[in-house]
Structures are given as structure tokens and as C-alpha cells.
Chains A and B, each alone.
Chain A
Amino acid sequence: SQTIHQWPATLVQPVGSPLSLECTVEGTSNPNLYWYRQAAGRGLQLLFYSVGIGQISSEVPQNLSASRPQDRQFILSSKKLLLSDSGFYLCAWSVGQGTYEQYFGPGTRLTVT
């Protein structure tokens, strides 16, 4: 069966510090991978998605970046965090060419202080 992992679960970082959030998927090959951010009481904002190794599409210009060094690994990074980067970060995966079901990880709660 397929599983998706995200870590860390919670993170408190000062403004200006770097960020690295990791997401890995098990039990499937060549998944489409997604990073979303959810602000309190709001819906999900798609940040990045990837349909293959090294292929990253950015949806929202900001100080975040994403990388996919391996087929089932997706990393969200920042060189210098802003207060506005606080939120709940969710990784998700899907398979196939098309907008099929997405399967979400447990999320990372990031607080920038």
C-alpha cells in the first residue's frame, strides 16, 4: 500500500532563518507531487507541483523553492523565512496524467517568529 510521510510535524523558526521540509512517498512509482500551504481558516494554496524528477512548476512567486532529487522525494525550501510563511504545509501525491485523486500527508505546522 502507498504511504506518504512529511517531517517535521511542527517547526518554529525565527524570521530570516532557512527552511527545509521533506516529503517522501512509498509504494508507488513516478507520482505527481504537490506542495500546498493552508493559512488558518482558509483553503489550500498550491505552491509547487512536479510530474517527474527535476521537473518543478511554481504556482505562486515567493521566497520558497521546491526540488525533487529522487522519484518519490519532494523538498520545500527557503533561504530566509518571512513572518508570512507561517502556515500548515501539506504534501500530496497522485498518479497518472490528469486530475485524479490526491493523497495527502499529515502536514507540517510552521510558525515563523
Chain B
Amino acid sequence: SQQGEEDPQALSIQEGENATMNCSYKTSINNLQWYRQNSGRGLVHLILIRSNEREKHSGRLRVTLDTSKKSSSLLITASRAADTASYFCATDAGSNYKLTFGKGTLLTVNP
């Protein structure tokens, strides 16, 4: 079964609105990462949050991590049509090298 599961599976919003995606995982982690994938392209790393961090910001992105609930959220503020993509969380499940990816949230931002 997947270590990370994103929720919702799909999200459609209007330009300018905020988008929130959630990720739940099952086992202890060293860090949790979020990636973005435009249709038919490779993944792009967005942000990494370590297990001892609770919140991290990068531009319009805000990631939170709650290790007691084994969950994370990705907030994109003031969304743009160019933010339309699939977003994946990835966890290491305590591994040294491997990441396990969820199935992703498909975000559509309508102009």
C-alpha cells in the first residue's frame, strides 16, 4: 500500500483562490517532500520539510507537518493558471535513499 496518500484526488479552483492539498502517511519519517508534475513531464521538487519542523514557506507555498497525526498539507496562495499540475507528496519511511510517492492531487486553476 502507498506510504503517502494525497487528498483530494482532484481540486478545481479559480485563479486567485488558495489551494490546499493534504498528505497522510503511515510510518515514521525523516522528512517529507512535495513535488509538482505538469502533464507528460518529469517531477519538479518544491519543498522538503524535516520531521522536526512544523511549517515551511517558499514563495507562495506553505507546507505544514504534523508528525503526531502523520499528515502534511501544501497550501498554494493566490493561485495562477500556471499552477495547474499534479502535486505529489513523498516520504522516506525511514529509508536512507528511497522515497515513496502518493498518487497525487490534480489541481486545475481556471483563469
Contact = CB atoms under 8 A, between A and B. Distances in A.
Interface of A: 32, 36, 41-44, 46, 49, 51, 59, 88, 90, 92, 94, 97-107, 109
A106 B42 contact: yes
A102 B33 CA distance: 10
A59 B88 CA distance: 20
Secondary structure call for the B interface: loop
Contacts of A42: 103
Interface in B1-49: 2, 30-31, 33, 40-45, 48
Smallest CB-CB A-B distances: 5 pairs = A99-B92, A104-B42, A43-B103, A44-B101, A43-B101
B96 A104 contact: no
A103 B45 CA distance: 7
Contacts of B95: 99
Given A46-B99, A109-B40, 15 more contacts: A32-B97, A36-B101, A41-B103, A43-B2, A43-B103, A44-B43, A46-B98, A46-B100, A88-B40, A97-B96, A99-B31, A99-B97, A100-B48, A101-B48, A106-B41
